[in-house]
Every structure is written in structure tokens, then in C-alpha cells.
Amino acid sequence: MLQTLRKSASGLVAKILMGLLIISFGIWGIADVFRGFGSQTLATIGSTEVTVPEFRQLYQQRLQQISQQIKRGITPEQARAIGIPDQVLNERLGEAALDDRAKRLGLALSDAEMAERIQSNPSFRGPSGTFDPNYFNQLLRSNGYTEQRFVEAERRLALRQQLIQSLGGGIELPQTVRDAFARYETEERSISYVTVDPPAPDTIAAPTEEQLRSFFDARKVAFRAPEYRKISVLALTPETLAGSIAISDADLKAAYDANPGRFGTPEKRVVQQIVFPNAEDANAAAARLSAGTPFADIVTDRKLTPNDINLGEVTKNQIFDPAVANAAFGLPQGSTSGVVQGRFGPVIVHVESIVAGTTAPFEQVAPTLRTELQNEQARRLMLEKHDQIEDERAGGAKLSEIAAKLSLKVEALDTDAQGKTPDGAAIPQIPARADVLRGAFASDVGVENDQITLPQGGGYVWFDVDAVTPARDRSFDEAKALVLDRWKQDEAAKALDARVAELQKKVEAGEPFDKVVTDAGLELRTARGIRRGRAADGVPQGAVAAVFDTKVGSVGTASTDVGDSRILFRVDSASQPASTGEDSQLFDQVRQRMEQDLMTEYLVRLQSDLGVRINRAALDQIVGGGDAVN
């Protein structure tokens, strides 16, 4: 949450900082574990301490972020396998090291500077575009932060940035480095290529029973049934409560009558105006108008253009000057006002045409209005229900019992960690789906789990694990349909590889590329101006790297970005375009990488000077295993 709140203020330096923290400690490791920690101490670096509750919160937040990104839950085993505990701990230790050094150097920020920093953060701006204290406090509360805690976190971040900025500035790239990177980055290649598709599954001959059994026996682990869990989910949101809230017809009508303008379109008028430099000219023009002179003649006599007088087709609220707005919307169509004292001088207003406003009838908007009023009341009721649920949970009640008592609905799920039921269907969409799955597969039967708070005051979700069905090996008969499908996929891939290899062999033997592919019934295509790291029209992104790994005049192959098809290509030419304005952007990126290397070295030395101690027992307890950090 804290990273989200301050993302607009962090800037490039903070992004560099987060990246190099992982790199530095990932390369050089963490010092050995020492004994004698306090019960709430996870690690120390220098005189700075990382507490168990602090790391647990950071770790859970990271797991939630990853689950939301990949749209499914992540188990503790998966988290350890991809090194998430290492990453989170290394980042926090890196921050702590910089905090310790900033303290020793006496770096500081005044309260006034911190206030200016927070007020300039776009994340805390209200509808007016300026800092909104109420929105700021609401955002902090909804994410479990006090103002003091957030300000202290921001102060530490700002001091880290000061320290990092003092190291990374002023690096200049040698000309040799500039030339090398420019050549690498701007090289362009042209290719001729074809897309080779695998055979359709229904064209592949069916295997014998013995072949299928042999295929299954060699790959039993691929056909294992995953672990399933029965989960009870109680979601408390405005939507789940709204249906039980009754809104009377009288209340609906009162809400409709209180603001009828929102249920239609406002009246619009095509308005023209002449702004006069003084009252004498305005009164003289008004006298001519009273005598029958057309408004257009006054415009012509004053040598004004349509752009000088037209306000366009506007609503009353769209006219900046209230006096002009009142005059324009008080005139009949085609008429002209007298002299109006506007903000910028005397004005005469003319109404060219009127587009009447519309108001939707009550019967038409009643259903939408009813839903709005139900949701509004539900938001107020939600906090009361939340406290009731927490009281019941404190008393040991199960979610199903709580739901029955409070007239709420519990969703019963039978799912694997990816959100699939035993028959392969997707579970129903529920609030915080990824977080529920992640939490449920990290918990166990009978464990009381923490509630999940939905973002932006959207509600709360609780879940219980009711039963666990362990992963198991499927029998051949049980997995037969899956085995057959996998066998056909493998056979199709083999046939595709054989065809591509045959075509490539013919070209390498000296046959013209275009003849080989056209004789094979494939469509020959060309692509020009391909550059490293950039999407090319018609050429899959994954094939670009293969193009630059292949010599000019040679052929190569690559997978496509979608499906199982393959690309067979010949590199026709390579060229080096003249230098462009993009070079400066490239050099900036290289300079940033060099700055990262410098700051990485600094952090490695800082770690060595300060010394790191890890409470491995506490770490293993948080991340669920003994192999989280090497």
C-alpha cells in the first residue's frame, strides 16, 4: 500500500533503488545467522532492526501484489521456489542499511519539507486538483496507516533518495561506449520468412492402447490431480448487502425530485455577445438595437468576426460570467438583451437558437435510482455488519454460522490453487479472488484467517478452509482423455519440428529460399527495418532475438508468440542507419545502468561495514519452510 501511495513522488531514483537492492544482496548474499535475538527481531543491520511484524506485513503485501498480477493464488512453496522471501528481505535490509548510514551522516528533513513533499504528491489530490487533507486521511485509514507512521516512512524514503542521488550524478559515457551501444541499438535487419503451422490434431492417427499407456507411464507426474480445498467465503460489500435493503416509492420520488437535472440533459443555447470598451459605446449600440437595427449589423459595424462574438452552444453553467449567463438564459430565441454589466465590461447578449433540455420520467430512472440508494445505505450498513462479524468470529463461530445469523450469503468453493474445480470449470468470480486462493492454500483447516480488505472502501472478505483433498496420482483410466490430448500435442510438435528441419536442410543445401517455401505451399513474406527489442510488423517479438543471432544470408527458426507455429526465416541484409535523436535516450539508459552498478557496489560495501544478522527461525516461521533464504 505504501508504495502505491507514494508512487507519484518516488521518481526514477526510487525505481533504481528498488532494482539495485535486489541485485546487490542477490549477488553477494546475506551474512550468517547469529543467536540471541529478541522475540520480535527478524534481522539487524548496523544499529537498525527489522521486526517480525514489519517483515510479515511486507511479505504478505508482496504475495498479494503478485497474486493480483498473475490472477491466481500463490502457495508458500511456490513463493519460496521463485525467491520471493529473498527478494522482500533483501529489499528491506537494503533500505535499513541506507537508513542506518543516513542516520550516521546526520541527514535530516524538516517537518515543513515533509509537508511540502506530501502535499505535492498527485496521489493525494482531490477533485479540485490540489492536496485534499480529508482524502489523504481517508486513504491512510482505509489501508491501515496512521499519519505519523506514513510521514516517518516518507521521511526515511526521502533521506535514502538524498543519499543515492549524491552517488549517482555526474557520470559521463566514454565515446567508445557511446559508439558501441549506438551500433548495437540501431542496427536494422531485413528477412524473408514463412510461418509453418503444426498439423491439426484430428489429422494425427490415433495411438494404440499400448502406446497411450506407455506415454502415460513415462509422464505420470504431469497427470497428477492437484490438491483441492473446500473453502467457505463470506464477502461483505455494498453489492452483497444492497439486495436486502428496501427503498420505499416515497423515498425514490423524493430523491428524484431533489435533483431532476441529473436525469436528463440541460437546456442549451447558441449564444453570441459583444463586449464593449466603455458604457457609452454599449448604450449607443443598445439604442440602435431598440430602434430596429439587427444585431448582425452592430457586429459588422464594429468589425468583429464570428470568433469574437460566438460562445457556441452552451449550457448555463458553461458560461463563465454569471451576469451574461443569467441574461442569455432569460431571453426568448432570436432576441437580444440590453446592456449587461459583465465581469470584463459592458456586454450585449444575443440568443441565436435554443435546444430544449430533457428530463427522463421517474418511471424510467426508478430502477437505477433504487440501486443507487440501496448501495448508499449498504455502505453505511457495511461497517456495522463488519463489527458484528468480527464479534462472532471472536466467539469462535464459523462463517456459515455467522452468515445464517446475520442473513448473509456464504460461497462454498471446491477448488485447486488456480481456481479450477475438480471437473475443470472455473470457480465463480468472488471479490479478492486471487487473495482468497492464495490465503486459503497457505492456511489449513480450523485456522482463523485474517480478513481481506478490498481497495477503496469496497468491503471485506473472510474465508475458512473446511477440508483439504491432497494431490494424488491419477489412474490411467481416470486420466485417459488428458493423456490422449497431450499425446496428440506431442505428435503434432514432432511433425512440425520435422517439417521445419526438412525445409531448413534444403535451403542450407543450396536451394533458393523462396523456391523451397513456395514449393512447400507456404506464403513467403518479407520484413524490413527490424531492430533489437522492438516489435516488427508481422514478425513475432520472440523471433526478433533469433533474427539477430543468425548471420546474414543464413536461415534460422523461432517460435511464434501465439500458438505452436514456427517461423522459418532467412536474414537478407543488415544495415547501420545514420545517428538519430533516439541516441540521447539510449545513452541516458546506459548512464542509468552505470549509476545502478555504482550504487550496487556502494550497498555491498555498506552491508559489509555494517554487518547483517538474520533470525532464521523467525524467517522460516513466516515464510513456511526452512529453505526460503540461502
> pLDDT of 282-296, one tens digit each?
999 999 999 989 999
Question: Do both 282 and 406 map to the same domain?
Answer: no
Q: Is the pLDDT reported for residue 336 higher than 90?
A: yes
pLDDT class of 364 with cuts at 50, 70, 90: confident
Within 10 angstroms of residue 467's Cβ, the number of other Cβ atoms is: 10
- SS3 readout for 446-511: CCCCCCEEEHHHCEEEEEEEEEEECCECCCHHHHHHHHHHHHHHHHHHHHHHHHHHHHHHHHHCCC
At residue 215, the pLDDT reads: 92
What mean pLDDT value characterizes the chain? 82
Find out whether 463 and 232 touch, Cβ atoms under 8 Å: yes
In this prediction, residues 242-255 reach a mean pLDDT of: 82
Q: Are residues 40 and 61 in the same domain?
A: yes
Residue pair 430/189 in contact (Cβ under 8 Å)? The answer is no
| pLDDT tens digits, 295-334 | 999 899 889 888 888 988 998 888 888 899 999 999 999 9
User: Of the ranges 43-47, 367-371, 412-416, which is most confident?
Assistant: 412-416
Residue 25 has pLDDT above 60, yes or no: no
More confident residue, 584 or 269: 269
pLDDT at res. 458: 85
Residues in the chain: 630
pLDDT at 260 over 90: no
Could you identify the residue written with the cell 425530485? 257
Q: What is the Cα–Cα distance from 77 to 99, expressed in whole angstroms? A: 32
Query: Which runs of consecutive H residues, i.e. helices, occur in 29-146?
Result: 52-70, 76-81, 84-105, 111-119, 133-142
CB 455 within 8 A of CB 139: no
**Is the pLDDT higher at 99 or at 462?**
462
Residue 262 domain-assigned (yes or no): no
Q: What's the pLDDT score for residue 15?
A: 44
Contacts (Cβ under 8 Å, ≥6 apart) of 115: none
Q: How far apart are CA 619 and CA 628, in angstroms?
A: 8
Residue 11 pLDDT exceeds 80: no
Q: Considering only CA atoms, which of 263, 252, 236, 539 is closest in space to residue 407?
A: 236
Q: Are residues 193 and 276 in the same domain?
A: no
Pairwise CA distance, residues 248 & 260, whole Å: 18
Q: Specify the pLDDT at position 168.
A: 61
- Residue 266 pLDDT more than 90? no
pLDDT higher than 80, residue 10:
no
pLDDT band at 580 (very low <50, low <70, confident <90, very high): low
Confidence of residue 469 (pLDDT cuts 50, 70, 90): very high
Stretch 201-229: mean pLDDT: 90
Q: Which of 469, 498, 529 is the last residue of a domain?
A: 469
Question: Rounded to whole angstroms, what are the CA distances from 480 to 205, 216, 224, 470?
Answer: 16, 8, 12, 21
Q: Assess whether 386 and 413 both reside in one domain.
A: yes
Task: Say if 370 falls within a structural domain.
Answer: no
Claim to verify: residue 567 and residue 602 sit in the same structural domain: no
Checking if the pLDDT of 22 tops 80, the result is no
Domain that holds residue 613: 2-171+592-623
Under DSSP, is residue 89 helix (H, G, I), strand (E, B) or coil?
A: helix
Burial class for 56, CB neighbours closer than 10 Å (0-12, 13-18, 19+): middle
CATH number, domain with residue 393: 3.10.50
CB neighbour burial string for 347-384, b if at least 16 within 10 angstroms, e if fewer = bbbbbeebeeeeeeeeeebbeebbeebbeebbbebbee
Using 50, 70 and 90 to split pLDDT, how confident is the model at 235?
very high
Model pLDDT for residues 201-214, shown as the tens digit of each residue = 888 888 999 999 99
Residue 74 belongs to domain with CATH number: 1.10.4030
Hey, is 526 helix, strand or coil? strand
pLDDT-above-70 percentage for the chain:
89
Tell me: do 149 and 241 sit in the same domain: no
Confidence of residue 509 (pLDDT cuts 50, 70, 90): very high
Helix (H, G, I), strand (E, B) or coil at 203: helix
Considering the domain architecture, whether residues 458 and 521 belong to the same structural domain is answered as no
Residue 267: the pLDDT is 87
- Same domain, yes or no: 53 and 137: yes
Report for 125-139, 523-537, 585-599: range of highest mean pLDDT: 523-537
- Number of compact structural domains in the chain: 4
Q: Is residue 26 part of a domain?
A: yes
pLDDT band at 250; cut points 50, 70, 90: confident
pLDDT > 90? residue 350: yes
Reported confidence tier of residue 187, pLDDT bands at 50, 70, 90: confident
Q: Summarize the confidence of residues 42-50 as an average pLDDT.
A: 85
28 pLDDT above the threshold of 60: no
Contact criterion met (CB below 8 Å) for 568 and 228: no
114 and 195 in a single domain? The answer is no
- For the segment 50-75, the average pLDDT, to the nearest whole number, is 83
Quickly tell me which residue has 496428440 as its cell: 488
Report the pLDDT value the prediction gives residue 410, as an integer from 0 to 100: 92
Residue 596 has pLDDT above 80, yes or no: no
Is 604 inside a domain boundary?
yes
**Between 171 and 505, residue with greater pLDDT:** 505
- Residue 78 predicted with pLDDT over 90: no
Name the domain boundary from 436, 469, 502: 469
What was the pLDDT predicted at 31? 39
Same domain for 17 and 154? Answer: yes
Rounded Cα gap, residues 573 and 570, in angstroms: 9
Lowest mean pLDDT among 65-74, 217-226, 492-501, 551-560: 65-74
Residue 320: its pLDDT value, please? 83
pLDDT of residue 128: 64
Domain boundary among 437, 469, 501: 469
Pair (529, 434) in one structural domain:
no
Query: Within a domain: residue 150?
Result: yes
pLDDT of residue 20: 43
**367 falls within a domain:** no
Give per-residue pLDDT as tens, 140-163.
777 667 888 888 888 888 888 777
pLDDT band at 66 (very low <50, low <70, confident <90, very high): confident
Q: pLDDT category, 501, cuts 50, 70, 90?
A: very high
Q: Is residue 313 part of a domain?
A: yes
Whether 630 maps to a domain, the answer reads no
pLDDT for position 535: 72
Q: How confident is the model over 103-112, as pLDDT tens digits? A: 888 888 888 8
3-state helix, strand, coil in the chain (%, to 5): 55, 20, 30
The DSSP secondary-structure symbol of 77 reads: H
Tell me the CATH number at 272: 3.10.50.40
Do 426 and 381 lie in a common domain?
yes
| Nearest CA among 539, 462, 555 for reference residue 500 | 555
Whole-model pTM over 0.85: no
